Structure formats: C-alpha cells, structure tokens
C-alpha cells in the first residue's frame, strides 16, 4: 500500500529540492500523497501540484508557521486552505518582511563577531534556487525585489550554510550551536503571532491546523495540545521523527479524547537534514481523510 507524508520542505523555504524534484522523489518512494509545508511561503504548491498531476502523486496545500507560547516557540502546520486567499498571502508577506529585517540584524552581529557573510548573496542564492521554477520570477525574486516578496522564505538555515561556506564553522549544526541557536551569540528573536491568531488565519483561508512535532515542545506537550484545542486546533502531528514512542501513544489517546485528527510526516528538508528521508514515517492514509473531515 502506498503511504503519505504530510510534512515536507522545498527550496521555497529551507529544503534543498525543487517542488518538482520533491514530488518526483515522492513518486519514486511510492507515496500516494504529500503535503508541501514550507515555512511562511506557499510558493511551491502550484508547481508541486503540476508535477503531482503528471506523476500520480496527490499534493496537499500546506504551510508551517512559528508561533509564540509560554512553552517557547511552537510550530503549527496549516493544511487544505486556499493558497490564493488574499489575507493569508498578505500575512505571509508580512512575516517574510520581518524575516528580512531579522536576517539583517543577525548578519550585523556576525560581522561584529568577526564572521562577515554577504546577506545579499544568501538571499540571491535562495531565490535563485526557488525561482529556477517556471513563472516564479513574476513574484519578484532576486536583487532589487520588494522586501518579503521573494521567491523563497530565507532564515537561519540559509545563514548557517553561508557560515559553513565562508569557513567560519565546520557544519550547519556548529553554526546553530555557537551562533544562531536560541540565546546564542548572534541570535535575534523574531516577531511571532500567538497560536490563536495563526489558527484563525488558516481557518479564514478555509484550512485546518495541526500542532507540529510535539516531541520538540519544551513543556508538557499534552498540556499544550489541550490548551490549543481550546483555541481551534484541529489536529496533532503524532508521526514525526522527533516524537518518542511513548509520546505517540499518549498523543493518539489525547487526539481521540479531544476529537482532534492525528497527522504525521517526515519533516523532510533534503540535504539540510540528511538523516531524514521522505516517507520515513508510517502515516496512515486515514490521516488525510481525518483532516478533510475537520475541514468539512
């Protein structure tokens, strides 16, 4: 039986495969459906869908949003929304403008620490990867494009790779551990919405919302799921590489109790997370049906 993978990234955010290559890989490993869930950007969905139509892989519209919580940063996954929704697109563009400003401050700090990197080149290279895609130049990518209007969502993983390329650190992980990770020397916080706001945004665009990788939540994940369930959460990501087995069992029971859908995916990022393979989680086909039911 062919599987599904509801958590994947492309070059439009911090993955390394183009949308077409991601879908081609999905077809090769025998997936029936994938959701494309780039950070703060829906720019990969149309191309992925076109590839999916050719290759027999269903492509579900997705997004990954970072939100603020007492437990620290949480990630929410939006699914099955209208990716042309004007309010959603405007909100995503605002988030990417905030990213641009924050990236500039991170790079300033790195320069002060004696590790200059060229932000213009980082953005151009991210956009070049993303805008190799047909039609994406219409979005305004590359040098001189309006802030936040780029073909890709640029963030710390891109800066980490530039630090490696410049020889300032040996690996992306070292870049995070020493400089870019929360609270490290060049860390700059990013403005984040509250969970209820992000959930409302996805709902208003006709979609549903899941809590991503509860295994990475720094407080009791069950408590966070209960709380978010009270502000409209539709689902919880039970199958994810960072969820230990005992947590999965607990989340399945909790989803049942609260009437939430149970979803899952690999969180595939290509070469940026080389130990994670597409389709590595055994996500039941029923997960997608359950999301559709929540939407209905």
**Binding region for ligand AMP (CB under 6 A):** 14, 39, 155-157, 173, 176, 181, 190
Nearest to 150 by CA among 128, 182, 134, 171: 128
Minimum gap (Å) between residue 224 Cβ and Fe ion: 14
Does residue 14 interact with Fe ion by CB under 5 A? yes
- Residue closer to ligand AMP by CB (options 27, 160) is 160
Binding mask 56-95 toward Zn ion (x if CB under 5 A, else -) reads: --------x-------------------------------
Does residue 75 interact with Fe ion by CB under 5 A? yes
Distance CA 9, CA 155 (A): 13
Q: Which two tokens stand for residue 180?
A: 């870019």
- Residue closer to Fe ion by CB (options 13, 127) is 13
The helix (H) or strand (E) run that includes residue 6 is: strand 3-8
Minimum gap (Å) between residue 21 Cβ and Zn ion: 18
Give me the half-sphere count of Cα atoms (radius 13 Å) on the Cβ side of residue 167: 0
Residue number of the CB closest to Fe ion reads 75
Distance CA 99, CA 38 (A): 14
Minimum gap (Å) between residue 176 Cβ and ligand AMP: 3
- Residue closer to ligand AMP by CB (options 82, 174) is 174
- Residue closer to ligand AMP by CB (options 173, 293) is 173
Minimum gap (Å) between residue 100 Cβ and ligand AMP: 11
Distance CA 126, CA 120 (A): 10
Distance CA 113, CA 133 (A): 36
Considering only residues 189 through 218, tell me which ones interact with Zn ion, judged by CB under 5 A. none
- Residue closer to ligand AMP by CB (options 40, 83) is 40
Minimum gap (Å) between residue 103 Cβ and Zn ion: 19
Chain CA centroid to CA 10, Å? 9
Distance CA 70, CA 266 (A): 26
Supply the DSSP symbol for 214.
G
Find residue 268's DSSP bridge partners: 8
Residues 232, 196 contacting (CB under 8 angstroms): yes
Minimum gap (Å) between residue 170 Cβ and ligand AMP: 14
The only residue of 47, 83, 237, 267 in contact with Zn ion, by rule CB under 5 A = 267
- Residue closer to ligand AMP by CB (options 156, 240) is 156
Would you call 173 helix, strand, or coil by DSSP? helix
């Amino acid at each position: 039986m062919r599987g599904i993978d509801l958590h994947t990234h492309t070059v439009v955010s911090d993955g390394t495969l183009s949308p077409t290559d991601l879908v081609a890989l999905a077809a090769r490993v025998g997936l029936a459906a994938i959701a494309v869930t780039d950070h703060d950007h829906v720019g990969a969905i149309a191309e992925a869908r076109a590839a999916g139509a050719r290759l027999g892989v269903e492509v579900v519209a997705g997004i990954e949003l970072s939100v603020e919580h007492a437990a620290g940063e949480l990630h929410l996954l939006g699914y099955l929304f209208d990716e042309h929704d004007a309010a959603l697109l405007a909100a995503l563009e605002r988030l990417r403008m905030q990213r641009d400003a924050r990236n500039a401050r991170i790079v300033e700090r790195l320069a002060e620490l004696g590790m200059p990197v060229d932000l213009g080149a980082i953005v151009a290279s991210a956009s070049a990867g993303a805008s190799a895609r047909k039609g994406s130049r219409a979005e305004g990518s590359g040098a001189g494009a309006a802030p936040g209007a780029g073909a890709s969502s640029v963030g710390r993983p891109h800066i980490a790779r530039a630090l490696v390329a410049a020889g300032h650190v040996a690996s992306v992980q070292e870049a995070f551990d020493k400089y870019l990770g929360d609270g490290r020397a060049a860390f700059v916080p990013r403005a984040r919405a509250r969970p209820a706001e992000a959930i409302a945004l996805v709902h208003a665009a006709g979609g549903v919302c899941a809590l991503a990788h509860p295994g990475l939540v720094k407080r009791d994940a069950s408590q966070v799921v209960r709380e978010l369930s009270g502000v409209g959460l539709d689902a919880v990501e039970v199958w994810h590489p960072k969820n230990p087995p005992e947590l999965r069992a607990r989340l399945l029971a909790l989803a049942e109790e609260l009437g939430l859908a149970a979803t899952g995916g690999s969180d595939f990022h290509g070469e940026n997370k080389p130990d994670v393979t597409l389709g590595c989680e055994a996500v039941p086909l029923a997960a997608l049906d359950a999301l559709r039911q929540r939407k209905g």
